[in-house]
Amino acid sequence: MKVTCPEKRVLQDRCTTSSHVYAESLAFLSAKVGTVSKQEYERLHSIMLHFRKQLEMARIELEKHKTEHGCGDDPKAMAATNAN
Ligand SMILES: [Zn+2]
């Protein structure tokens, strides 16, 4: 039986959470287009970019860990990494 690397699980969870948060902020932003002021839109847009950055960082950390630790053969990891 294969043991899943606990650190990888943590990083995967972070990727999953980050991608959900980013998707929600993107959906929220899309829903607000044309209904809010330019300033408000830019504020929401910068928040969305912040979440996207967090997602990118989480993915980079996961990839880095898998490369360094040699634990990157989990299909769930691939799904989390490739989800966009
Ligand atoms: Zn690992």
Please check whether residue 10 lies inside any domain of the structure: yes
What domain range includes position 43?
6-82
The rounded Å distance from CA 18 to ligand 1 centre is 19
Please check whether residue 1 lies inside any domain of the structure: no
Tens digit of pLDDT per residue, the chain (84 long)? 466 899 999 999 999 999 999 999 999 999 999 999 999 999 999 999 999 999 999 999 999 999 999 998 755 555 555 545
The rounded Å distance from CA 21 to ligand 1 centre is 24
DSSP 59-78: HHHHHHHHHHHT----HHHH
Q: How many domains does the chain have?
A: 1
pLDDT given for residue 72 in this prediction? 83
The rounded Å distance from CA 10 to ligand 1 centre is 10
Please check whether residue 68 lies inside any domain of the structure: yes
Q: Collapsing DSSP states into helix, strand and coil, what is residue 5?
A: coil
Please check whether residue 41 lies inside any domain of the structure: yes
Comparing C-alpha atoms, which of 32, 27, 56, 55 is closest to residue 43? Answer: 32
Please check whether residue 15 lies inside any domain of the structure: yes
pLDDT given for residue 1 in this prediction? 43
Please check whether residue 19 lies inside any domain of the structure: yes
